């Protein structure tokens, strides 16, 4: 079975991916989304989950927020080390959401406008902080303020996954997630470049 297994920091990432992935993944790819209860839970269980996974053809994508207190390179190295401890490092891909998952949403205010049915948000995309949202300190707070608290983490993420522009380059961390997922899909389907 050709399977992509996403190991996720939180349920909101699962909700977003549930509606985003069917928009571009091949129907022959089986997807499994495994949310954890935060960073510590993910890091504690990561190596064991990957090691114990029965499908030898599975590929794993680990997605965790950077948050404001982590250097993303150090965090990625730590997660890669945990993948190596599983014995399946070559089957793993680590992606860091800079700074939070909500960065992906702030990079695509048209999607936020459409998903949450709040007029006028797309016009704010030209504001400096929304042109490069990976640099924001607290994207979740920015999104809450921008939407006047209409954004709810899990339900909002599910709606937003249906609307996010897959080619949007304003969040390099979002593009890294999309490109990495497509690359693993190509490997599984046997047409990797």
Pair 129, 59 in one domain: no
152 φ/ψ sector (left φ>0, alpha ψ -120 to 50, else beta): beta
Predicted structure pTM score = 0.95
Structurally, the chain folds into a number of domains equal to 2
Domain assignment of residue 166, yes or no:
no
Residues 89 and 138 in one domain: no
Residue 15 inside a domain? The answer is: yes
Instruction: Identify whether residues 29 and 60 lie together within a single domain.
Output: yes
Res. 126 pLDDT band, cuts 50 70 90:
very high
- Give residue-wise pLDDT tens across range 31-60: 999 999 999 999 999 999 999 999 999 999
Same domain, 65 and 146: no
Which phi-psi region, left, alpha or beta, contains residue 148 (left: φ > 0; alpha: ψ -120 to 50)? Answer: left
Residue 97 CA to residue 63 CA, distance in Å, equals: 7
Could you tell me the residue range of the domain that residue 28 belongs to? 3-99+171-189
């Amino acid at each position: 079975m050709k399977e992509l297994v996403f190991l996720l920091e939180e349920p909101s990432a699962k909700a977003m991916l549930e509606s985003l992935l069917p928009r571009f993944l091949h129907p022959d790819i089986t997807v499994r989304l495994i949310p954890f209860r935060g960073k510590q839970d993910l890091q504690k269980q990561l190596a064991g989950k990957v090691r114990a996974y029965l499908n030898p053809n599975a590929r794993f994508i680990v997605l965790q927020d950077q948050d404001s207190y982590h250097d993303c390179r150090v965090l990625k190295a730590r997660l890669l080390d945990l993948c190596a401890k599983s014995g399946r490092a070559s089957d793993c891909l680590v992606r860091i959401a800079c700074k939070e998952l909500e960065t992906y949403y702030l990079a695509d205010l048209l999607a936020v406008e459409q998903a949450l049915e709040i007029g006028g948000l797309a016009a704010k995309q030209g504001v400096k902080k929304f042109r490069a949202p990976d640099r924001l300190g607290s994207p979740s707070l920015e999104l809450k303020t921008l939407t006047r608290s209409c954004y709810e983490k899990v339900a909002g993420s599910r709606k937003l996954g249906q609307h996010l522009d897959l080619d949007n380059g304003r969040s390099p961390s979002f593009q890294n997630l999309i490109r990495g997922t497509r690359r693993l899909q190509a490997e599984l389907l046997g047409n990797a470049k």
